[in-house]
Amino acid sequence: MFSKILSPIICSMVFVLLMSSGCGSTLDYTIETTLNPYKISPLTAKLSIEIEKPCTATIEVLGESPIKQSFEANSTNLEIPVVGLYPNEVNNVVVTLKYDGGQIIDTIKIKTGNTPTYFPRIAIDKLSRNEMAPGMHACDIHFSNNGRFNSGPMIFDDQGKVRWYLDLSFAGKMVSPFQRLKDRTILMVSRHVIYEFDMLGKLLRETNISTNYGMHHDVLELPNGNLLICIGKKGAFINLDGKNVVSDSDFIMLFDRKNSKIIKEWDLAKHLDVSKNELNFFRPGDFLHMNGLAFDQNDNSIIVSGKNLGLMKISWDDKLQWIMSPIKSWGKAGRDGNGFDTKPYLLTAVDSKGETYTNAIQNGRKSSDQFDFPWGQHAPNLMPNGNLLLFDNGTFRNYENNIHYSRAVEYNINEKDKTVAQVWQYGKQRGLGFFSSIVSDVDYLQESNTVLVTSGFIKNGTNLLAKIVEVDYETNKEVFEATLYLKSENGNKSSGWGQTDILYRSERLDLKY
Domain ranges of the chain: 2-111, 121-509
Cα–Cα dist 330/323, whole Å? 10
Work out the average pLDDT over 208-236: 97
Cα–Cα dist 274/288, whole Å? 8
- What is the predicted pLDDT for the residue at 281? 67
- What is the predicted pLDDT for the residue at 495? 87
- What is the predicted pLDDT for the residue at 279? 79
Per-residue pLDDT for 12 more than 80?
no
3-state secondary structure of 17: helix
pLDDT digits (tens, 9 = 90+) for 421-441: 999 999 999 999 999 999 999
Q: Average pLDDT of the chain?
A: 94
Question: For residue 9, what pLDDT band results from cuts at 50, 70 and 90?
Answer: very low
Dihedral sign for Cα 30, 35, 36, 39, please: negative
Q: Which residues pair with 55 in a beta bridge?
A: 75, 99
Task: Pick 23 or 354 by higher pLDDT.
Answer: 354
- What is the predicted pLDDT for the residue at 283? 79
The set of residues, in sequence order, having a beta carbon less than 8 Å from that of 308 and lying 6+ positions away, is 276, 279, 280, 286, 287, 288, 289, 376
Percent of the chain with pLDDT over 90: 93
pLDDT digits (tens, 9 = 90+) for 145-157: 999 999 999 999 9
Q: Which residues pair with 445 in a beta bridge?
A: 450
Cα–Cα dist 204/180, whole Å? 13
Per-residue pLDDT for 25 more than 50?
no
pLDDT digits (tens, 9 = 90+) for 109-119: 999 999 999 99
Per-residue pLDDT for 486 more than 50?
yes
- What is the predicted pLDDT for the residue at 381? 97
Least confident of 21-35, 350-364, 376-390: 21-35
- Burial class of residue 507 in the structure, from the number of CB atoms within 10 Å of its CB (0-12 exposed, 13-18 middle, 19+ buried): buried
Question: For residue 3, what pLDDT band results from cuts at 50, 70 and 90?
Answer: very low
Percent of the chain with pLDDT over 70: 95
Question: For residue 2, what pLDDT band results from cuts at 50, 70 and 90?
Answer: very low
pLDDT digits (tens, 9 = 90+) for 261-285: 999 999 999 999 999 988 766 778 9
- What is the predicted pLDDT for the residue at 278? 85
pLDDT digits (tens, 9 = 90+) for 282-315: 778 999 999 999 999 999 999 999 999 999 999 9
Are 356 and 371 within 8 A, CB to CB?
Answer: no
Per-residue pLDDT for 219 more than 60?
yes
H or E element that contains 66? none
Are 58 and 69 within 8 A, CB to CB?
Answer: yes
Which DSSP string corresponds to 121-185? EEEEEEE-GGGSPSSEEEEEEEEE-SSSEEE--EEE-TTS-EEEE---GGGSS--EEEEE-TTS-
Taking CA atoms, 88 is separated from 52, 114, 296, 487, in Å, by 34, 4, 44, 20
pLDDT digits (tens, 9 = 90+) for 310-354: 999 999 999 999 999 999 999 999 999 999 999 999 999 999 999
Q: In the CATH scheme, what is the code of domain 2-111?
A: 2.60.40.1940
Question: For residue 19, what pLDDT band results from cuts at 50, 70 and 90?
Answer: very low
Question: For residue 393, what pLDDT band results from cuts at 50, 70 and 90?
Answer: very high
CA nearest neighbour of 497 among 351, 292, 282 = 282
Per-residue pLDDT for 162 more than 70?
yes
Cα–Cα dist 142/169, whole Å? 10
**What's the topology of domain 121-509?**
Neuraminidase (2.120.10)
